[in-house]
A and B are shown apart, each in its own frame.
Chain A
Amino acid sequence: MDLKWNGEPPVVHMEGITKRFGSILALDNVDFTVERNQVMALLGDNGAGKSTLIKILTGVHKPTSGRIFFEGKEVNIESPKQARDLGIETVYQDLALVDLMSITRNFFLGRELVKHIGPLHWLDMHRMDAATREVLTDIGITVRSPRERVGKLSGGERQSVAIGRAMYFGAKLLILDEPTSALSVAETRRVLDHILEVKEKGLSVIFITHNVYHVYEVADAYTILRHGKKVGTYQRGELGVNDIAALITGEREK
């Protein structure tokens, strides 16, 4: 049964999400909503349940209980592929790219462009290389060749490639898992710029981090988790950056 929404439904609405791993309660009855064209920061300390919540949304884990609505319709997300077919693109911190493969092969992984003659098919490397090169130029990465191995790129360049990939494939919701935690200040700046570009194009973004200072200036709203429970959701300007930091660690209760 679908819920009634006032006006336009949010991109994602997760309701009463509980997840147990054996005897461990990773998430306890968490509600989480991302509006259209919103940059939502999902904040919490290590082990607060951020990644678990996102992996449920992207079909990596199944919730023990709870419901998920995408663009107002209840969905049952069974696999990452299904999440992606809905328009949810995820850039995981450490498992976004395959180091030993070329940029082009990574860019189109799982969505390779092919040419056909009857039942025979082969990769259209020419078209994939051209598209990859275009996107890389767009997001301001210069590489000698899109056939270069991803292992040769810097941390910031990899994040940019992964974000560029998500934008190229026309996602509705972009999820970034700790995108800036391993980056230099300049690289972080560039990733934040990409996020604002993504928002300008009408997408919604979930930005997961344990460090509110990385996300404070680009987020429209902040959702804080602690020990698997939701502390609250706050709009931009409602709380100062130091208040949010205190809520994350539990120095402040509410």
Chain B
Amino acid sequence: MAAEIARARSSAFHRVRQRLAEYPEAVAFISFLLIFVFFSLANENFLTPISISNILTFGSITGIVVVGVAMLMISGEFDLSVGSTFAVASYVFALTLNAGVPPVLSLLLALLVSLLLGAVNGLIVVYTRIPSFIATLGTMLAYRGIARAIGHGKFATYKGEHLFLFDVLNGSLDWLNHLFTPPAIFRLSIVWFFLIALGMTYVLLRTRYGNWVFATGGNRLGAYAQGVPVHKVLLVNFMLTGFLAGLAGVIQFAHRTSVDPLRGAGMELIAVAACVIGGVLLTGGYGTILGAVIGILTIQMLDQGLVLMQVPIQVFQAFVGLLIITAVVSNRYLARFAE
């Protein structure tokens, strides 16, 4: 009798584990909930409109970058240059605006440059066949150099009057914020982030291109043998990643209206961390945008929660490190039961 109960229990446990293994974002979702509940109980200021809107407003900027990085990682490649592209786009936007270029043109120029920087990454990887980790480590430094050079190593601050374009890119959602006292700080970047994540989820799961992205990451030669244009997929994904990094840069600039030479530095690793926590396989072929979104929100929440608990900011990195390792170990554990 006892043995039967034990068996029933273990098979129920096995079933749960098997169900969880079908969803790449399961571990991310569970850790997100656990950390959320923990901070909610541990600090009375955590579950407040200000704190939640702060997590979303900050998380959405890196989040837009993460969506591109996740697409790229699912196709089996890395982009370590996103933080530098983020800075270049911000500088191009700032400097052209200050030079009197019409705002919309200035925006398009910043986005075009980001797209080109992404294309350069893609061309290097496709044509030289060196690992993207190395290629984009190189361009990370090179693009950072470009950002410093065009900004003369100094801050660039927008000097004109407030632009309507800034409101479109990243206005404050005042009608929402004033529903709360004290007011929250929700911004439009959150909306852009969720729209982009939603759009990319659609592309990944419901279009031919999405099917090719998975195949390119899962079995590149096999995909090629089936007629999938794998080089085109990689090039497009690198361009997309560059574009989204630049877009995130200009969206942030629309809020802060200034940019410094180190803007975006370190973002590349946070983006990879968010993807890994979210269940995207480092080796490609597996993962979801939703997982990566949960991943970046978890990291941002950890940051916010630790600050509220007055834990020194340096400790934040240690926690993110711990979270990455825990997430990967748990994902491995689940994956063994997916077969």
User: Which chain B residues border A114 with CB–CB below 8 Å?
Assistant: 207-208
CB of A243 within 8 Å of the partner chain: no
User: How far does the alpha carbon of A112 sit from the alpha carbon of B228 in the complex, in Å?
Assistant: 11
Asked if B227 and A101 make an inter-chain contact with CB atoms under 8 angstroms apart, the answer reads: no
* Alpha-carbon distance between A84 and B226 when the two chains are bound, in angstroms: 8
Q: How far is the CA of A82 from the CA of B224 in the complex (A)?
A: 11
The minimal Cβ–Cβ distance linking B290 to chain A, given in whole angstroms, is 17
- B213 smallest CB distance to A (angstroms): 11
Q: Are A81 and B207 in contact (CB under 8 A)?
A: no
- Residue B193, interface by CB 8 Å: no
Please tell me if A75 contacts chain B, counting CB pairs below 8 Å: no
Q: Judge whether B218 is part of the interface by a CB distance below 8 angstroms.
A: yes
- With A105-B214, A123-B206, A123-B211 already in contact, the answer to whether A96 and B222 are too (CB < 8 A) is yes
* Residue count of chain A within 8 Å CB distance of chain B: 28
A105 to B226, CA, bound (A): 12
Which one of B207, B218, B226, B285 contacts A80 once the chains associate, using CB atoms below 8 Å? B226
Residues of A with C-beta under 8 A to B225: 58, 60, 80, 90, 92, 95-96
For B212, the chain A residues whose CB sits under 8 A away are 109-110
Within A69-112, the residues touching B (CB, 8 Å) are 79-81, 84, 90, 92, 95-101, 105, 108-112
Residue-wise interface mask of B (219-261) relative to A, using a CB-CB cutoff of 8 A (1 in contact, 0 not): 1011111111100000000000000000000000000000000
> Chain A contacts of B161 at CB under 8 A?
none
B214 CB contacts on chain A under 8 angstroms: 98, 100-101, 105
- Residues of A near B202 (CB, < 8 A) are 122
Q: Is B339 an interface residue (CB 8 A)?
A: yes
The tally of CB-CB contacts under 8 A between chains A and B is 76
Which residue of chain B has its CB nearest to the CB of A124?
B206
Q: In the complex the two chains form, is A122's CB within 8 Å of B228's CB?
A: no
Q: How many residues of B contact A (CB 8 A)?
A: 25
Which chain A residues border B222 with CB–CB below 8 Å?
A: 92, 95-98
Residues on A with beta carbons closer than 8 Å to the beta carbon of B130: none
**CB–CB B227/A110 < 8 A:** yes
Contact between A110 and B226, CB atoms less than 8 A apart: yes
- Contact A99–B227 (Cβ < 8 Å): no
Quick one: which of B207, B215, B229, B338 contacts A123, CB cutoff 8 A?
Answer: B207
Interface hits, A157-208 → B, CB 8 Å? none
Q: List the A side residues contacting B339 at CB < 8 Å.
A: 151-152
Partner of A105, one of B211, B221, B281: B211
With both beta carbons as reference points, the residue of chain B lying nearest to A60 in the complex is identified as B225
Contacts of B227 in A (CB 8 A): 79-81, 84, 110-111
> Which single residue of chain B is at the shortest CB-CB distance from A92?
B225
CB of B86 within 8 Å of the partner chain: no
A130 vs B72: C-alpha distance when bound (angstroms): 31
Contact residues of B: prevailing secondary structure: helix
Distance, CA A58 to CA B221, complexed state (A): 13
Chain B positions 131-186 with a Cβ under 8 Å from a chain A Cβ: none
Known: A81-B227, A114-B208, A121-B208. A100 touches B218 (CB 8 A): yes
Chain A residues within 8 Å of B221, by CB? 95
Taken together as a complex, chains A and B put the C-alpha atoms of A151 and B285 apart, in Å, by: 12
Task: Check A109/B206 contact, CB under 8 A, given A99-B218, A149-B338, A152-B339.
Answer: no
Q: In this assembly, does B286 line the interface, its C-beta being within 8 Å of a C-beta of chain A? A: yes
The residues of A that contact B215 with a CB separation of less than 8 Å are: 98, 101, 105, 109
Alpha-carbon distance A84/B228, docked complex (angstroms): 11
B211 touches A109 (CB 8 A): yes
Q: Are A110 and B228 in contact (CB under 8 A)?
A: yes
B206–A100 touching, CB < 8 Å: no
A212 to B339 CA separation, bound complex (whole angstroms): 33
Alpha-carbon separation in the docked complex, A151 to B210 (Å): 19
A221 to chain B, nearest CB (A): 25
**Of listed A84, A97, A101, A112, residue having the most chain B CB within 10 A:** A101
Chain B contacts of A98 at CB under 8 A? Answer: 214-215, 218-219, 222-223, 285
When chains A and B are docked, how far (Å) is the Cα of A98 from the Cα of B210? 14
Smallest CB separation, A89 vs chain B (Å): 10
Contact B206 A122 (CB under 8 A): yes
Shortest Cβ distance from B297 into chain A, in angstroms? 25
* Nearest Cβ on chain A to B241's Cβ, whole angstroms: 21
What CA separation (Å) do A99 and B210 show in the bound complex?
16
B residues 315-339 in Cβ contact with A at 8 Å: 338-339
- Is B208 within 8 A of A112, CB to CB? yes
In the bound complex, what is the Cα–Cα distance between A60 and B221 (angstroms)?
Answer: 10
Q: Are A112 and B219 neighbours in the complex by a CB distance under 8 Å?
A: no
How long is the Cα–Cα vector from A109 to B216 in the complex, in angstroms? 11
Kindly list chain B residues whose C-beta atoms are within 8 Å of the C-beta of A81: 227, 229
Give chain A nearest CB distance to B281 CB in angstroms: 8
Given contacts A95-B225, A101-B218, contact A112 B338 (CB under 8 A): no
In the assembled complex, 15 residue pairs joining A and B whose CB atoms fall closer than 8 Å, in A order, are A58-B225, A80-B226, A80-B227, A84-B226, A92-B225, A98-B223, A100-B286, A101-B211, A101-B215, A101-B285, A109-B228, A110-B226, A122-B207, A149-B338, A151-B339
Beyond A98-B218, A123-B208, 15 additional contacts (C-beta under 8 Å) are A81-B229, A92-B222, A92-B225, A95-B222, A96-B222, A96-B225, A98-B214, A98-B223, A99-B219, A100-B281, A108-B211, A109-B223, A109-B228, A110-B227, A149-B338
Per CB-CB distance, the 6 closest pairs between chain A and chain B, nearest first, are A81-B227, A95-B222, A110-B227, A98-B218, A98-B219, A110-B226
